[in-house]
Amino acid sequence: MSNHHNNGARASETEQMAQSQYLKVFVQRDYSEGTVVKFQTRFPPELEGKLDRQIFEGTITRLNSYFAEAEKATCSTYCEGCLACLTAYFIYICKETHYEKCLKKVSKFIAEQNERMYEPRGLKLTDPSMRGLRVLEISCLDRPPNV
């Protein structure tokens, strides 16, 4: 039984090593307006010649708008919070939060951008929720980093 766990650990280590062989570019969060989730629109020099600036800026602007929508306080989100308190948060067993719905939009947008814009150029976006909403990771799939 322990052999099975060792093989699983080795397989995941091999997978992680294969993923880490790609050049990765990280777009940092922009904290100039507080702690809301917003990414910097500064074009990373590592993507020069691989990706058009307008595509990059369009992607970041759209992501930032999705996160702004998620953080927006409306009558609906206020009522959602009150209902959650009244039901001891059991309401979330059968209903998604507004924030979760917006995160699904982000995931769908990332998948569409990868398929249409990034993967044909040898790049891949990683959903920011996979990185704790700390960074937007862009992997360059066609060349390993200089070691």
* 40 within domain boundaries: yes
What is residue 143's predicted lDDT score, i.e. its pLDDT? 57
Residue-by-residue DSSP string for 84-126: HHHTTTGGGGTS--HHHHHHHHHHHHHHHHIIIIIGGGTEEEE
Is residue 72, in this structure, part of any structural domain at all? yes
Q: Is residue 52 part of a domain?
A: yes
Give the pLDDT confidence score for residue 106 in this predicted structure. 97
Is residue 105 included in any domain, yes or no?
Answer: yes
User: The dihedral of CA 52, 60, 107, 46: what is its sign?
Assistant: positive
SS3 4: helix
Mean pLDDT in consecutive groups of 10 residues from the start of the chain, 147 residues: 48 49 89 93 92 95 96 94 94 93 97 95 94 94 57
Residue 17 domain-assigned (yes or no): no
Does a structural domain hold residue 64? yes
pLDDT for the residue 144: 47
Coil, strand, or helix at residue 44? coil
Whether 11 is in a domain gets the answer: no
Structural domain of residue 122, as residue ranges?
22-140
**Is 3 a domain residue?**
no
Number of domains in the chain: 1
Cα separation, 23 vs 46, whole angstroms: 9
Q: What is the pLDDT of residue 142?
A: 72
